[in-house]
Structure 1
């Protein structure tokens, strides 16, 4: 790790400076965590003086320059204003280069943890969110994007940024990926509060944001549906979750294992069907199909016996035939 950081700080090639060891998730994460500590801090934050506490005099503000920077949208205030822009840019470039190099040259396979550490580096070093969004979109295509990954920042700041992006004339309007991040964050943040009123409020806001997304013409993907369905199931809003599942199928979005696992646990679902069959009851066709699809998606379809499946399917077909016979009779009685 020391050799990697020396190559990053001196802006050298990784191929010429570092041998190719066996990289682990922990060592890659340590390298990514060290980049902001060495390259993103301002000189005022490095080191500590002995004796009494002493602060460096504040830098004289140039109000005229701040006015022009505000109009250009590049004004930086706070501790980040005293950082070396060249070092920050070097850290971002070398972090992305290392992230790509360790995978293509060293045979390392990234996972959710390394993806999250890289997201933190981009969030701390980027003045705008474009670079971070592009990285998250690439990781989402590879299936490495999780809720902890997208929550690299503060939830309240993310909500404020979302409100700014929805204003007319904003240079970077929100898209499907942006709405998905906020919906997932609402569901997760609501469950972490521990207050029933706060949980209901967060789930309502997630559904409200989902409806705004549809109203603006965006087509949600499977990650959007899974986030909202999982939040509804955990708060016992099963009816709303089933409505989302039906809407999901109507829009041509294919449910996956995560979708079905939000509704039921595989072993408990199998035990439920067995208990219904032993009591002589026949489940509804929708319930039976939901459990069977969940078992198939998780690779545990062997838990259902063929005899049990045949008995349940015959019972469901018999119920359908009985309903079809009763329906014409009721129509004839209503006409009479």
Structure 2
């Protein structure tokens, strides 16, 4: 019900419902709080998002990674990345590991405002993490591709090559469009040796041509 109200834009009604749940001896779950924090974040109501998170902790409900990700998203929506990183530090101090979504929230937010340099610098700050017992590679193919394409647009071909190599080593096959763009730039710069090196690295990942 809370989720439906938030999706319908009836946030205040959702908040009243959550408070009623508490009065009736049926405390809201971490999922319900994550919905509220996420909704406030989407609406860029950062103070409300933080207040809801703190209320959750006061009520003795331990936030999970979904709630933390919702709060991180809220800060990223208004480009308050230092606050987002402090949230990550807080969750780690409480024994909650960031997941692949945490990583992509940060990187995609930086990429969306064309902060490619910052995204490039912090990408190694996120390591592969386990989700439901399985290792999840972070960043994902989409994040890698957007970052590589952005660096290509800026003419930073060498950095794009480093990212592509990193992508390959993580076992992620680059989309044909991404590799094709980088290939054209390498050929234009006369760096056939680098192109040959990357193609060799990709041989185990290739099932079909990477470009037309």
Same fold (TM over 0.5): yes
Contact 2:69 2:101 in 1 (8 A): yes
Structure 1: distance between partners of 2:179 and 2:147: 20
Q: TM-score, normalised by structure 2?
A: 0.57
Partner of 2:53: 162
> What do you get for the CA RMSD once the two structures are aligned?
4.6
User: SS of 1:126's equivalent?
Assistant: helix
User: SS of 1:265's equivalent?
Assistant: helix
Partner of 2:143: 259
Instruction: Output aligned runs, 1:30-179, within 5 Å.
Output: 92=1, 116-117=7-8, 120=11, 122-123=14-15, 125-127=17-19, 128=21, 130=28, 133-134=31-32, 151=42, 154-167=45-58, 170-179=59-68
Moved over 6 A (4+): none
Partner of 1:206: 84
Structure 1: distance between partners of 2:47 and 2:67: 15
Contact 2:145 2:178 in 1 (8 A): no
Change (3 A) 1:207 1:136: closer
Change (3 A) 1:257 1:314: closer
Q: TM-score, normalised by structure 1?
A: 0.39
Change (3 A) 1:220 1:164: same
Structure 1: distance between partners of 2:128 and 2:45: 35
Contact 1:225 1:244 in 2 (8 A): no
Unmatched tracts of structure 1, length 5 or more? 1-91, 100-113, 138-146, 191-201, 277-281, 318-336
Q: How many residues align?
A: 176
Structure 2: distance between partners of 1:243 and 1:164: 34
Computing the radius of gyration from Cα coordinates, the structure with the larger value is 1
CA positional deviation for 1:245: 2.4
Contact 1:229 1:259 in 2 (8 A): yes
Change (3 A) 1:213 1:262: farther
Contact 2:164 2:174 in 1 (8 A): no
Structure 2: distance between partners of 1:245 and 1:204: 15
